[in-house]
Amino acid sequence: MIGYTVFIVDDEDTIRKTLMIALEGKYRLADFPDAESAIDAAKADLPDLILLDIGLPGMSGIDALPHFIRIDPGIRIVVITAYEDVKSVVSAMKHGAYDYVVKPLNMDSLEVSIRNALESIRLKKEVQSLQEQVLRENLPCFMGESNTIKDVMQFVGQLARSPDTPVLILGETGTGKELIASAIHYRSPNFQGPLISVNCAAIPRELIESELFGYEKGAFSGASTAGKKGLVEQAEGGTLFLDEIGDLSLEAQAKLLRFLEEGEYYRVGGTKKFTVRTRVVSATNKNLEERIGMGLFREDLYYRLAVARVEVPSLTVRRDDIVPIALNFLLEFSKKFDKPFTGISRDAQEALRNYRWKGNVRELRNIVERGVLVGEGPELSLQDLGLKERTASADRPLSKEDILRPLVPQEGIDLEGAHESLDKHFFREVLRMTGGNETRAALLLRINYHTFRYRRKKLGI
C-alpha cells in the first residue's frame, strides 16, 4: 500500500513522531501540528487518508472535517480522541469520519482501521473504473455541448445516484429519451444489473400485463406450459425502462401502481406474491396531464412515476449541438461502412444548423447514416446529406399561414375559450421546449419576462 498518502494531524509532537516511525515504509506520510496547515496541504496534494486529532488548537478536528470533505468527498478520515468521548465521536461520524481510535493509541487497532479505510478506497476505485468502462461501451457521446443539454445531463447525473427513485423522461419523438434512460442506469449503483427496456406501445394491450409480470403455466389459452418470467422480474437488481408509458392500458396502470407502491406483484394466473428490487424509469412524448384530464391515465400513477422528471429539449432549442452530434454520428458510420470521412463541409454544416429537425436526434442520425453510405468523402457534403431541397431556415418565425385555421362549426364557437386554449397550448409548448426556463420561453413567445409570468399564472399553468 506504499502508493497511498496518509496525513497525520496532531498537536502532540510525540504522537506524530510515533506514528511516523510506526507507519514509515508502508505509506507516503506527512505530519501537521494543526488543521489549518493540513487543509492547505490537502488542497495542493490530496491525501487518501487523514489521521485527525479531535482536540487540536485553533480549528478543532470536528470543525476541520467538513473542510477536508469539501476538498474531496472520497477522503477517508480516522479521528483520534484523547478519551472515549461518545458525543465527540458521534459528531465526527456525522461530519463524515470513516472511523475513530482512542488515546492512548493501540497500534494494532489503528493499523486495522487504516487498512480497512484504504481497502474501502481501493474497492470504490475499482467500482468507479468498471463503471467508467461500462459507460464508454454503452453510452456514445451523443448529447452535445450546449449549456442547455449540459444542465440536463448534470441533473441526470444527480438523479442516477439513487438506486430506486422513479424517473419520468419527457420529450419529443427522437430526442434521445431512451439514451437518457441508459445514462441514468449506467451512472447508478445498479449499473452492473440488467437494463430491461419495454416499448409499451408495441405490445398488444391484452398482453402487456403478462409481459410485465409474467404468467403461470396454463394461465390462458396459448400460454407456455412452463409459465414465464415477466420483464419486471428480469429487471431484478437493475433498471426497468418503460418507454411510451402513456400508451399503457388503465388495467395495466393499476397493476404497475401496486408494484411501484409496494414492490410486489402477482404473475397472471398465479397466487404467489413476488417481490423485486428494481428502478423504474419511464418515458413519453405525450402530455400525461392532458391524458389524466381525459381519463386515460391515472393521476396517482403519474405522481408515482414522476418523483423526478427530466425534460429532454428538442434540437430546435439547442442548435449549437447539431454539428457536434452529427460529427459523432459521422465517426460511427465511417467506421461501420469503412468510409474515409474526416469532417463535414461548411455548407453542409450550415444546412444542418438551419434544418427544421422534426425528428430530432433520431432524424439527424438517419440523415448522417444515409450521407455516409452514399458519399465518397473525405468531407460529408450537402449533396450527400440530401438536404439541398429540404433545407429551410429554422430561425424563420411562423407566419400566419403556418398556423392551422379550424373551421367554425354550425353551432358557433366560444371565441374566448378558444383563445385561452391556444394560449395554454403555446405556453406549455415553449416551457417544454426550454425545459421550464421562463426567460427563454418568454423570448420564444416574443413577450417580456414579467408579462410571461403574469399570463402563465392567469392561465393556471
Note whether 50 and 114 are same-domain residues: yes
Same domain, 273 and 208: yes
The helix/strand/coil state of 377 is: coil
334 and 185 share one domain: no
Q: Domain containing 368: what range?
A: 315-385
Q: Structurally, how many domains does the chain consist of?
A: 4
Is residue 397 in some structural domain? no
Query: Which residue has better confidence, 406 or 119?
Result: 119
Domain boundary among 266, 291, 311: 311
Q: Average per-residue pLDDT in the chain? A: 84
How many percent of the chain have pLDDT more than 70?
Answer: 88
pLDDT digits (tens, 9 = 90+) for 52-87: 998 898 899 999 999 998 898 888 999 988 766 667
What pLDDT score was predicted for residue 244? 92
Q: What is the pLDDT of residue 313?
A: 87
Does residue 413 or residue 66 have the better pLDDT? 66
Q: Tell me the per-residue pLDDT of 377-410, one tens digit each, with 9 for 90 and over.
A: 899 999 899 876 454 444 445 445 445 555 566 5
In a shared domain, residues 162 and 237: yes
Same domain, 289 and 325: no
Does 280 or 221 have the greater pLDDT score?
Answer: 280
pLDDT at 284 over 80: yes
Is residue 399 domain-resident? no
Q: Are residues 125 and 179 in the same domain?
A: no
Alpha helices in 81-204 (DSSP H): 86-94, 107-138, 147-160, 177-186
pLDDT tens track for 210-226: 888 888 886 776 667 67
Task: Confirm whether 305 is domain-assigned.
Answer: yes
pLDDT of 33 higher than 90: yes
Report the range of poorest mean pLDDT among 89-98, 123-132, 176-185. Answer: 123-132
pLDDT band (50, 70, 90) for residue 324: confident
Q: Report which of residues 350 and 147 the model is more confident about.
A: 350
User: What CATH number should be reported for the domain holding residue 162?
Assistant: 3.40.50.300
Q: Average pLDDT in the 333-362 region? A: 89
Q: Residue 281 pLDDT more than 60?
A: yes
pTM for this predicted structure: 0.57
Q: Angle 322-337/360-374 helices, nearest 10 degrees?
A: 40
Provide the pLDDT for residue 8.
95
pLDDT value, residue 395: 45
Domain contains 367 = yes
202 with 245, same domain?
yes
Does 306 lie in the same domain as 208? yes
Across 293-314, average pLDDT:
92
Task: Extract the C-alpha cell encoding 93.
Answer: 461520524
Q: Between 226 and 207, whose confidence is greater?
A: 207
The domain that holds 325 is classified in CATH as 1.10.8.60
Share above pLDDT 90 across residues of the chain, in percent, rounded to a whole number = 30
Same domain membership, residue 258 and residue 155: yes
Neighbours of 15 (CB within 10 A): 18
- The answer on 201 and 69 residing in a single domain is no
* pLDDT value of position 2: 60
Residue 63 belongs to a domain with what CATH number? 3.40.50.2300
Answer yes or no: are the C-beta atoms of 41 and 67 closer than 8 Å.
no
- Given a cut of 80, whether residue 1 has pLDDT beyond it is no
Cis peptide upstream of residue 104 (ω within 30 degrees of 0): yes
Tell which of 291, 311, 331 closes a domain.
311
| Listed range (240-254, 263-277, 397-411) with the worst mean pLDDT | 397-411
Cβ neighbours for 364, distance < 8 A, ≥ 6 positions apart? 315, 322, 325, 326, 329, 352, 357
Determine the pLDDT at residue 409.
Answer: 60
Predicted confidence band of residue 29 (pLDDT cuts 50, 70, 90) = very high
Local confidence band at 209 (pLDDT 50, 70, 90 cut-offs): confident
The answer as to whether 151 is a domain residue is: yes
Tell how strand 273-275 and strand 279-284 pair up.
Answer: unpaired
Rounded to an integer, the average pLDDT of 282-307 is 92
Same domain, 267 and 344: no
- Decide if pLDDT at 7 tops 90: yes
In a domain, 257, yes or no: yes
Task: With residue 352 as reference, give the H or E element that holds it.
Answer: helix 346-354
pLDDT of residue 222: 67
**Cβ atoms 311, 156 nearer than 8 A:** no
**What pLDDT does 393 receive?**
42
Distance CA 194, CA 305 (A): 20
* Residue with more model confidence, 404 or 228: 228
Same domain? For 162 and 283 the reply is: yes
Q: Is residue 440 assigned to a domain?
A: yes
Alpha carbon distance 340, 331 (integer Å) = 10
Q: CATH number for the domain including 427?
A: 1.10.10.60
* 325 found inside a domain: yes
The secondary structure of the chain in percent helix, strand, coil, rounded to multiples of 5, reads: 50, 15, 35
pLDDT of residue 131: 52
Which residue in this structure is represented by grid cell 467538513? 66
Report how far residue 234's alpha carbon sits from residue 135's, in angstroms, rounded to the nearest whole number: 21
pLDDT band at 142 (very low <50, low <70, confident <90, very high): low
Q: Which of 97, 129, 161 is the last residue of a domain?
A: 129
